[in-house]
DNA sequence: CAGTCCTGTGACGAACCCGTGACATCCGGG
DNA sequence: CCCGGATGTCACGGGTTCGTCACAGGACTG
């Protein structure tokens, strides 16, 4: 269990309460530290505060979701329904508000673990799109067996499209999932990177067969 | 989605709100009826009220869990933490309290479905209208297996008609749902786009068999 | 510190889509 | 049979969306 919370007092009391319930608790006081720890210790649950010194909690959550399906519970003082929706949309599994009741939090964690630990198909390590192969972990992309060099943004863009193979992904979704929450700017940036991506992975970039545009809707990956 | 709730007013408003979100909602007014429906229609989510005329909601939840792992969300007026814990211990996945915020409930349902449905990669929602197949998420429409190219408006129009298959949809409704609120102008624009749609999806656009006009009322989709 | 690569922005043209108006056509009722 | 309202059809102008390029700033490396 990883506890991402900046207030030392809250962190401490939560730590103790959870320890009493039998959890091994790791701590992080900022979003960056949390993400770092996440990769280091691969916890089975993440408790995430929204108000962090460095990053927005929503952004942290989205970043987490880019890497793993670990259960995430947002713990926040913000009780507004909009925040709840935003948190869940960011990929969190649950959203509980302070002041916390330890027993309830614990019950929610158990309910979530129960659900999450069911046999589930692990996220495929490589995504295929016809003759394009995307190594999600390795970061290696090959087209027809030949390795191509993608930049970080191009890679994330391709992954995001492949994850929703066949479905239209809107510019807004792409901006949110590739560029991150709170990115300001028009969606034109997506076009540019789609173009750059096409140049690298499409046989004929002018007539794309894998990264196709759904005019007025977004982009879509087809095999 | 199965809604087990005894208060008719709450049931109705919830039903409408969830329908707007695109769910097919089944209803039950008692625990016994709920369990019966559960087996009959195998819903993908269960919303369960705690105060039921016949049985305790907790007992219903436990009974549900003996049969299936379907996601269960308890919807209750009881805000006490003990009830939350009891509900989750009874096997529920989430516990939300009244008064409800539709958006939040919807977000929680989505979060839960995301978690619960992980094994089966998101089933592509498709609407069928005879030999016309509409991929709601993919934005792909095929007629007799052949993919046709629809513009955004044509696509939305078709989706809206298919959602109410068999029923007449008025011009006003279409204007509101396809073009958006506050659209100013006569309903003639609908005619034009219906025509353009017919040209693309009907075998004989002059004698439409799928997008038929209900003179003086609106349009209707028939298989 | 210089060079290189990546990224985001602005601009521009082309393709496309949309809404409107005009006219033809159909349907039901008097 | 005729007429009026409703619907079908078409062409066109304006607006939007997308593809593409060039460029400047930033990050990273050696």
A 188-217: CB under 8 A from B:
214-217
Q: What is the DSSP string of A40-95?
A: HH--S-EEEESB-SSSBHHHHHHHHHHH----EEEEES---HHHHHHHHHTT-SEE
Q: Across residues B129-154, what is the average pLDDT?
A: 89
Distance B29 CA to D27 C1' (A): 62
For chain A, list residues with pLDDT below 70: 39-40, 66-67, 118-124, 181-185
Of A69, A93, A166, Cβ closest to residue B124? A166
- For the segment B57-68, what is each residue's pLDDT rounded down to a tens digit? 999 999 888 778
Whether A144 and A131 have beta carbons less than 8 Å apart is answered as yes
Element (H, E) at B27: strand B26-28
Q: Tell me what the pLDDT averaged over chain A comes to.
A: 86
H helix runs in chain B, sequence order:
8-20, 31-41, 57-67, 81-89, 102-116, 152-163, 171-174, 188-201
- For the segment B66-102, what is each residue's pLDDT rounded down to a tens digit? 778 889 999 999 999 999 999 999 999 999 998 888 8
Say how far apart CA B100 and CA A53 lie, in whole Å: 32
Q: Tell me what the pLDDT averaged over chain B comes to.
A: 87
**The residue to which tokens 């298989």 are assigned:** B223
**Res. B182 pLDDT band, cuts 50 70 90:** low
Residue B118 has pLDDT above 80, yes or no: no
Residues of B in contact with A166 (CB under 8 A): 124, 135, 137-138, 140
| Per-domain residue ranges of chain B | 2-116, 126-221
**The residue to which tokens 């007539």 are assigned:** A207
Token output for A31: 């979003």
**Res. B181 pLDDT band, cuts 50 70 90:** low
Question: In degrees rounded to 5, what are phi and psi of residue B134?
Answer: -115, 110
Q: What is the pLDDT of residue B90?
A: 93
Token output for A67: 């890497």
N- to C-terminal Cα distance for chain B? 25
- For the segment B142-171, what is each residue's pLDDT rounded down to a tens digit? 998 889 999 989 999 999 888 888 888 888
Percent of chain B whose predicted confidence (pLDDT) is above 70? 94
Strand D close residues, chain B 170-209, CB < 7 angstroms: 187-188, 191-192, 194-195, 198, 205-206
Strand D nucleotides with an atom less than 7 Å from a protein beta carbon: 6-11, 17-22
Distance A14 CA to C9 C1' (A): 46
Residue A119 CB in 7 A reach of strand D = no
Q: Across residues B197-214, what is the average pLDDT?
A: 89
Q: What is the pLDDT of residue B219?
A: 92
Residue A190 CB in 7 A reach of strand D = no
- Counting one residue from A and one from B, how many pairs have CB atoms under 8 Å apart? 83
Bridge partners of residue A135, in order along the sequence: A126
Residue B121 has pLDDT above 60, yes or no: no
Which residues fall within 8 angstroms of residue A202, CB to CB, at 6 or more apart?
Answer: A208, A209, A210, A211
Distance A177 CA to C10 C1' (A): 24
Q: What is the pLDDT of residue A118?
A: 62
Say how far apart CA B177 and CA B140 lie, in whole Å: 20
**Res. B122 pLDDT band, cuts 50 70 90:** very low
Measured CA to CA in angstroms, residue B28 lies from B22, B38, B40, B92 at distances of 19, 9, 12, 18
Whether B137 and B102 have beta carbons less than 8 Å apart is answered as no
Question: In degrees rounded to 5, what are phi and psi of residue A127?
Answer: -105, 140
Residues of A in contact with B58 (CB under 8 A): none
In this complex, do B124 and A93 lie within 8 Å of one another by their Cβ atoms?
no
Residues of A in contact with B85 (CB under 8 A): 103-104, 107
- Say yes or no: B98 contacts chain A, CB-CB below 8 A: no
Whether B129 and B210 have beta carbons less than 8 Å apart is answered as yes
Of A104, A119, A166, Cβ closest to residue B138? A166
**CATH dotted code for B126-221:** 1.10.10.10
Whether B25 and B3 have beta carbons less than 8 Å apart is answered as yes
Going by their DSSP bridges, the two strands A132-135 and A126-129 should be labelled as: antiparallel
In this complex, do A89 and B71 lie within 8 Å of one another by their Cβ atoms?
no
Whether B14 and B98 have beta carbons less than 8 Å apart is answered as no
- Say yes or no: B80 contacts chain A, CB-CB below 8 A: no
Q: What is the pLDDT of residue A184?
A: 65
Element (H, E) at A97: strand A94-97
Whether A34 and A21 have beta carbons less than 8 Å apart is answered as no
Whether B45 and B3 have beta carbons less than 8 Å apart is answered as no
- Say yes or no: B119 contacts chain A, CB-CB below 8 A: yes
Distance B198 CA to C16 C1' (A): 19
Q: Which fold has domain A2-116?
A: Rossmann fold (3.40.50)
In this complex, do B81 and A101 lie within 8 Å of one another by their Cβ atoms?
yes
Question: In degrees rounded to 5, what are phi and psi of residue A221?
Answer: -95, 130
Percent of chain B whose predicted confidence (pLDDT) is above 90? 37
Q: What is the pLDDT of residue B111?
A: 92
Task: Please determine whether the domains at B2-116 and B126-221 fall in the same fold group of CATH.
Answer: no
**Res. B123 pLDDT band, cuts 50 70 90:** very low
């Amino acid at each position: 269990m990883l506890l991402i919370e900046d207030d030392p007092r809250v962190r401490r009391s939560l730590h103790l309460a959870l320890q009493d319930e039998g959890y091994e608790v790791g701590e992080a006081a900022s979003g960056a530290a949390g993400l770092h720890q996440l990769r280091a210790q691969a916890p089975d649950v993440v408790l995430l505060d929204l108000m962090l010194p460095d990053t927005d909690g929503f952004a942290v959550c989205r970043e987490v979701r880019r890497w793993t399906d670990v259960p995430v519970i947002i713990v926040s003082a913000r009780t507004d329904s909009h925040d709840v929706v935003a948190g869940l949309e960011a990929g969190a599994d649950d959203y509980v508000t302070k002041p916390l009741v330890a027993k309830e939090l614990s019950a929610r964690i158990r309910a979530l673990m129960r659900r999450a630990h069911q046999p589930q198909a692990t996220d495929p390590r490589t995504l295929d799109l016809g003759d394009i192969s995307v190594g999600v972990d390795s970061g290696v992309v090959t087209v027809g067996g030949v390795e191509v060099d993608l930049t970080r943004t191009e890679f994330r863009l391709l992954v995001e499209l492949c994850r929703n193979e066949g479905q239209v992904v809107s510019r807004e979704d792409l901006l949110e999932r590739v560029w991150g929450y709170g990115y300001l700017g028009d969606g034109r940036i997506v076009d540019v990177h789609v173009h750059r991506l096409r140049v690298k992975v499409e046989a004929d970039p002018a007539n794309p067969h894998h990264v196709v545009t759904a005019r007025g809707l977004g982009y879509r990956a087809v095999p």
